[in-house]
């Protein structure tokens, strides 16, 4: 059985920096409130007309270049996003068109903040069972157009940002690369963090009186579950790999809230020094947050070959997922 190894990473964030104070144009809020509650200082917003596939292109190009893989050699694309260009088809189809990729399977998955780790697991399985040799996994989000910029939207609106990350996963005779992945869902909490409309339960699906177009989040409930599930799934990955928490070089938590990562680190008995954080710069980029962190960590020299890392994510669904990887 081949190993599944991440051979290239890339990321892209739009140029426009939106500082906490800039959000005062829409909301009754402050830099102090946002930073203390979430750890966010700023995020990026892309201009209207840009979709997740557009944001993904520079990230994918970097990942392919770093892997030394030509786009014609890809066997599959897995694209995780909760903010696709349209109802259907998925963002992966647009990426395939815009990058002129071969007519390979281009699969969208909708696992929200856990989407990238789910995508990695799909890539891992296709590679380990021998069906494919090179899979591109993308997490990309255009969230800014979905945010409620009216005064009522402040609790959710200050948290999210746009961006994209990508990795190339390849079959290899030398590993271990991706040691294991672990996936979970608990749909009974689906309505605690969701965008309920437009909904196919209604006719017409889109009407002038839609009230659920913007993300709704029961913040405190989501926070509690996020700490427990991200910790649990990190421990699950550690146990499966046979690693003690302190022998891991880096933890890459989904960037939802600095306090969530800090609570999780505390409960595992680790310092935040081992947690790679980008939330202060980019806010919560949902499916893009972990691949952006991986790519940045590789570029700034923090993440090195042979290091042991744990990815752990939690989000709408509820969904949660983790991975143990030797880089």
Q: Per CB under 6 A, which region of 43-51, 177-185, 253-261, 303-311 contacts ligand UT7?
A: 253-261
69 in contact with ligand UT7 (CB under 6 A): no
155 in contact with ligand UT7 (CB under 6 A): yes
Whether 291 contacts 167, CB under 8 Å? yes
> Closest residue to ligand UT7, Cβ-based?
219
Task: Return the number of the residue (146 or 180) whose C-beta is nearest ligand UT7.
Answer: 146
Is the backbone of residue 49 left (phi > 0), alpha (psi -120 to 50) or beta? left
Task: Return the number of the residue (228 or 270) whose C-beta is nearest ligand UT7.
Answer: 228
Residue 96 to residue 217: CA distance in whole angstroms: 33
Task: Copy the structure tokens of residue 292.
Answer: 């952006």
Q: Per CB under 6 A, which region of 73-81, 118-126, 151-159, 177-185 contacts ligand UT7?
A: 151-159
256 in contact with ligand UT7 (CB under 6 A): yes
Q: Which of 93, 113, 182, 225 is catalytic?
A: 113
Listing DSSP states for 39-91 in one string gives: --SEEE-PPTT--HHHHHHHHHHHHHHHHT--GGG--EEEEE-SS-SSSSS-H
Q: Residue ranges of the alpha helices (H) in 134-251?
A: 154-157, 219-241
315 in contact with ligand UT7 (CB under 6 A): yes
Among 4, 307, 304, which Cα is nearest to 134's?
4
Whether 168 contacts 67, CB under 8 Å? yes
Site string for ligand UT7, 30-49 (x = CB under 6 A): ---xx--xx-----------
Site string for ligand UT7, 73-102 (x = CB under 6 A): ------------------------------
257 in contact with ligand UT7 (CB under 6 A): yes
| CA R_g for the chain | 19
Q: How many residues line the site for ligand UT7 (CB under 6 A)?
A: 20
Task: Specify the length of the chain in residues.
Answer: 327
Task: Return the number of the residue (94 or 160) whose C-beta is nearest ligand UT7.
Answer: 160
Integer CA distances (angstroms), 96 to 30, 48, 264, in order: 41, 21, 38
111 in contact with ligand UT7 (CB under 6 A): no
Judge whether 254 counts as a catalytic residue.
yes
Q: Report the nearest approach of ligand UT7 to the CB of residue 103 (Å).
A: 34
220 in contact with ligand UT7 (CB under 6 A): yes
**Which phi and psi (to 5°) does residue 47 adopt?**
-70, 155
113 in contact with ligand UT7 (CB under 6 A): yes
Task: Return the number of the residue (27 or 327) whose C-beta is nearest ligand UT7.
Answer: 27
Q: What angle do CA 275, 80, 53 make, to 5 degrees?
A: 110
Task: Return the number of the residue (113 or 135) whose C-beta is nearest ligand UT7.
Answer: 113
Binding ligand UT7 by CB under 6 A: which of 5, 6, 142, 226?
226
29 in contact with ligand UT7 (CB under 6 A): yes
Task: Return the number of the residue (81 or 257) whose C-beta is nearest ligand UT7.
Answer: 257
Which residues, including other chains, have CB under 8 Å from residue 247's CB and lie 6 or more apart?
Answer: 308
Listing DSSP states for 284-324 in one string gives: B-GGGHHHHHHHHHHHTT-S-TT-EEEEEEEETTTEEEEEE
The catalytic site residues sit at 113, 254, 284
Sites of contact with ligand UT7 (CB under 6 A): 27, 29, 33-34, 37-38, 113, 154-155, 158, 219-220, 222-223, 226, 256-257, 260, 284, 315
């Amino acid at each position: 059985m081949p190993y599944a190894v991440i051979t290239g990473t890339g990321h892209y964030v739009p140029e426009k920096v939106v500082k906490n104070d800039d959000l005062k144009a829409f909301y009754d809020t402050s830099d102090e409130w946002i930073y203390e509650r979430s750890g966010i200082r700023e995020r990026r917003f892309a201009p209207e007309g840009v979709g997740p596939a557009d944001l993904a292109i520079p990230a994918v190009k970097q990942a392919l270049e770093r892997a030394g893989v030509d786009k014609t050699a890809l066997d599959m694309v897995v694209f995780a996003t909760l903010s696709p260009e349209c109802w259907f088809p998925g963002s992966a189809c647009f990426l395939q068109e815009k990058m002129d990729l071969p007519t390979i399977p281009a699969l969208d998955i909708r696992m929200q903040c856990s989407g990238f780790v789910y995508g990695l697991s799909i890539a891992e399985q296709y590679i380990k069972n021998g069906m494919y040799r090179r899979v591109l996994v993308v997490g990309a989000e255009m969230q800014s157009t979905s945010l409620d910029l009216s005064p009522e939207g402040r609790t959710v609106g200050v948290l999210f940002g746009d961006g994209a990350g990508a990795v190339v996963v390849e079959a290899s005779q030398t590993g271990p690369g991706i040691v294991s992945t672990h996936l979970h869902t608990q749909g009974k909490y689906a309505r605690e963090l969701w965008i309920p409309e437009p909904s196919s339960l209604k006719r017409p699906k889109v009407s002038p009186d839609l009230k659920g177009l913007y993300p709704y989040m029961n913040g405190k409930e989501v926070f509690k579950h996020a700490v427990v599930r991200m910790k649990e799934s990190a421990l699950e990955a550690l146990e499966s790999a046979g690693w003690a928490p302190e022998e891991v070089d880096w933890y890459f938590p989904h960037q939802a809230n600095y306090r969530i990562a800090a609570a999780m680190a505390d409960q595992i008995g680790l310092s935040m020094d081992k947690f790679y954080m980008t939330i202060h710069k980019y806010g919560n980029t949902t499916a893009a947050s972990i691949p952006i962190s991986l790519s940045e960590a590789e570029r700034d020299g923090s993440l090195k070959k042979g290091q042991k890392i744990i990815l752990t994510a939690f989000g709408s669904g509820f969904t949660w997922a983790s991975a143990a990887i030797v880089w």
